[in-house]
Amino acid sequence: MALTPLSDALATLLAQIDSTPQIEWVSLEAASGRYAAEAIHSTLSVPPADNSAMDGYAVRTGDLPAVLRVSQRIPAGSAPTALEPATAARIFTGAEIPDGADAVVLQEDAEQLDEGVRLPEAREGQHIRRRGGDIQPGQQLVAAGRYLRPQDVGLLASVGLDAVQVFQPLTVAVLTTGDELREPGSGDLVSGEIYNSNRFSLAAQIRALGMNVLDMGNLPDQPERIGDALERAAAEADCVITAGGVSVGEEDHVRGQIESRGTLNLWKLAIKPGKPLAFGEVCGTPVFGLPGNPVSSWMTFALVAKLWLIKRQGGVVFAPPRFAVRSGFAVARPGTREEFIRVSLEGSGTAMRATLTGSQSSGVLSSLSEADGVAVIGPGQTVAEGDWLDVIPMSALLSPEVA
Ligand code: AMP
Ligand code: MG
């Protein structure tokens, strides 16, 4: 079977999504971590009026330099009266500029005298924050599908909103498979066993996208039980994610069960780690069959399933940033697949170097946990020490905003 480039697989997968979740209102307190269901526009100007950026004196620049009587005091939150001719108004940060004033002189630049304050020349507009300088009426604040972050809910609050329409979070079922897997906390390993790690990393990746996890636990390598669990998961969740059992081994029953109880597409993705990937449907619910090796399942989730889930959630994604970084290692033999290499970053600026965090085997989680990012090496590409590499930061691979 020919290898499918990642971009081709993504294009096919994403094109199949034609619905978004139900919409609900949530209070602004509960909106961070949710996906906006509609574009949100401001009806107001922010700031609502010209105001002072500093503590000082509101003045008319035409009067300066001069010694001026202080005709009023304007703390933040009070309503000023028009500035009397040839006077200054004592003003504080955030207070409204009185009509007639066109600049603020810093208090540090003013000299207190018995008859008033001595003020130097001032530039028109200095230290004044203009009405609408942040937000204009009608301005779009967030686009439809935007994942709302703390700074976004702050922005929405700044125009007086206290509730927003968001998409209901998807429920994503996680199901691992393998007779060898023991759950952490269920006792010590006996010969042949390893602890189930994918169940935890996948659930955490899903939650990091603001979605709900339906934990189906681990299934032994028995076709009927795997098939039944797939159907139960499909009945309750918007999407089912399995790990393991999608290669061609005799004990790999997930793909067979997706096929016999629904429909299946099997891809050999041209990426390393993470070659086999099943995508299909059981009882009308989409199913991703990710590979079992812990780094492969993490990586195929981050590079493929995550994008699908965010689009299905109604979210919008941006291309992840890629930083040009000097390589601290060599790749002498060109590969046939696009390779995602776990690296840590040392140094700063143009002297930043990417070094391997350890073994790049698809079963080695410690080098993934150590990594600051992944270096992307194209098929057929070799790398010499000191070459420029493209590195995607780890935060981008986990982020609900970039794909
Ligand atoms: P499989 O795709 O089921 O053949 O699994 C490939 C490799 O990944 C085997 O070494 C498995 O033991 C390992 N593996 C599969 N699932 C998990 C899991 N949930 N946690 C840790 N390792 C796993
Ligand atoms: Mg297995």
- Report the CATH number that the domain containing residue 107 is assigned in CATH: 2.170.190.11
Domain boundary (260, 282, 312) is at 312
Give the CATH number of the domain where residue 228 resides: 3.40.980.10
Rounded to the nearest angstrom, the distance between the alpha carbon of 129 and the centre of ligand 1 is: 59
Residue 182 within any structural domain of the chain: yes
**Each residue of 291-314: pLDDT tens digit?**
999 999 999 999 999 999 999 999
3 state DSSP class of 239: strand
| Ligand 1 pocket residue status of 175, Cβ below 6 Å | no
Residue 318 within any structural domain of the chain: no
Q: Write down the pLDDT at residue 185.
A: 97
**Is residue 308 located within the same domain as residue 175?**
yes
- The answer to whether the beta carbons of residues 21 and 97 sit under 8 Å apart is no
Is the pLDDT at 401 greater than 90? The verdict is: no
| Ligand found nearest the CA of 192 | 1
Rounded to the nearest angstrom, the distance between the alpha carbon of 292 and the centre of ligand 1 is: 4
* Mean pLDDT of the chain, nearest integer: 96
Distances (CA, A) of 142 to 24, 40, 310, 316, 350: 17, 5, 17, 11, 34
| Ligand 1 pocket residue status of 274, Cβ below 6 Å | no
Q: Indicate the top mutation candidate among 194, 248, 298 to test ligand 1's pocket, ranked by most ligand atoms within 8 A of CB.
A: 194
Give the CATH number of the domain where residue 37 resides: 3.90.105.10
Q: Write down the pLDDT at residue 172.
A: 99
Rounded to the nearest angstrom, the distance between the alpha carbon of 40 and the centre of ligand 1 is: 44
**Is residue 275 located within the same domain as residue 151?**
no
Residue 119 within any structural domain of the chain: yes
| Ligand 1 pocket residue status of 244, Cβ below 6 Å | yes
Rounded to the nearest angstrom, the distance between the alpha carbon of 22 and the centre of ligand 2 is: 36
**In this prediction, what percent of the chain has a pLDDT beyond 90?**
94
Atom of ligand 1 nearest to the CA of 254: 3
Average pLDDT (229-234) is 98
Residue 265 within any structural domain of the chain: yes
**Is residue 199 located within the same domain as residue 284?**
yes
Rounded to the nearest angstrom, the distance between the alpha carbon of 245 and the centre of ligand 2 is: 5
Amino acid at 86: A
Atom of ligand 1 nearest to the CA of 245: 3
Return the residue whose CA atom lies nearest to atom 3 of ligand 1. Answer: 244
**Is residue 39 located within the same domain as residue 146?**
yes
**In this prediction, what percent of the chain has a pLDDT beyond 70?**
100
- Residues whose Cβ atom is located within 5 A of ion ligand 2: 178, 244-245, 292
Rounded to the nearest angstrom, the distance between the alpha carbon of 279 and the centre of ligand 2 is: 17
CA dist 381 and 393 (Å) reads 21
Strand 140-142 and strand 40-41: the pairing is antiparallel
Q: Write down the pLDDT at residue 319.
A: 80
**Each residue of 132-164: pLDDT tens digit?**
999 999 999 999 999 999 999 999 999 999 999
| Ligand 1 pocket residue status of 176, Cβ below 6 Å | yes
**Is residue 261 located within the same domain as residue 177?**
yes
**Is residue 28 located within the same domain as residue 153?**
yes
Average pLDDT (351-355) is 96
Is the pLDDT at 100 greater than 80? The verdict is: yes
Q: How confident is the model at residue 317 (pLDDT cuts 50, 70, 90)?
A: confident
Q: How confident is the model at residue 403 (pLDDT cuts 50, 70, 90)?
A: low
Q: What's the structural domain count of the chain?
A: 4
**Is residue 42 located within the same domain as residue 55?**
no
Give Dmax (Cα) for the chain: 97
Rounded to the nearest angstrom, the distance between the alpha carbon of 109 and the centre of ligand 1 is: 70
CA dist 370 and 372 (Å) reads 7
Is the pLDDT at 248 greater than 90? The verdict is: no
| Ligand 1 pocket residue status of 247, Cβ below 6 Å | yes
Q: Write down the pLDDT at residue 291.
A: 96
Is the pLDDT at 242 greater than 90? The verdict is: yes
Residue 373 within any structural domain of the chain: yes
**Each residue of 57-98: pLDDT tens digit?**
999 999 999 999 999 999 999 999 999 999 999 999 999 999
Burial class of 193 by CB neighbour count within 10 A (0 to 12, 13 to 18, 19+): middle
**Is residue 378 located within the same domain as residue 305?**
no
Domain boundary (312, 344, 366) is at 312
Residue 64 within any structural domain of the chain: yes
Residue 1 within any structural domain of the chain: no
Strand 51-52 and strand 128-129: the pairing is antiparallel
**Residue whose C-alpha is closest to residue 391's, from 351, 340, 348:** 340
**Is residue 307 located within the same domain as residue 345?**
no
Give the CATH number of the domain where residue 375 resides: 2.40.340.10
**Is residue 137 located within the same domain as residue 247?**
no
Residue 61 within any structural domain of the chain: yes
CA dist 202 and 294 (Å) reads 9
Q: Indicate the top mutation candidate among 174, 198, 253, 361 to test ligand 1's pocket, ranked by most ligand atoms within 8 A of CB.
A: 198
| Ligand 1 pocket residue status of 245, Cβ below 6 Å | yes
Q: Write down the pLDDT at residue 249.
A: 87
Q: How confident is the model at residue 370 (pLDDT cuts 50, 70, 90)?
A: very high
Rounded to the nearest angstrom, the distance between the alpha carbon of 197 and the centre of ligand 1 is: 9
**Each residue of 181-190: pLDDT tens digit?**
999 999 999 9
Atom of ligand 1 nearest to the CA of 197: 20
CA 374 and chain centroid, separation:
17
Return the residue whose CA atom lies nearest to atom 15 of ligand 1. Answer: 292
| Ligand found nearest the CA of 199 | 1
**Is residue 176 located within the same domain as residue 249?**
yes
Return the residue whose CA atom lies nearest to atom 12 of ligand 1. Answer: 180
Domain boundary (129, 145, 178) is at 129
Atom of ligand 1 nearest to the CA of 276: 2
Is the pLDDT at 402 greater than 90? The verdict is: no
Provide the residue range defining the domain that includes 263: 6-15+169-312
Is the pLDDT at 397 greater than 70? The verdict is: yes
Is the pLDDT at 165 greater than 80? The verdict is: yes
**Is residue 187 located within the same domain as residue 274?**
yes
| Ligand 1 pocket residue status of 289, Cβ below 6 Å | no
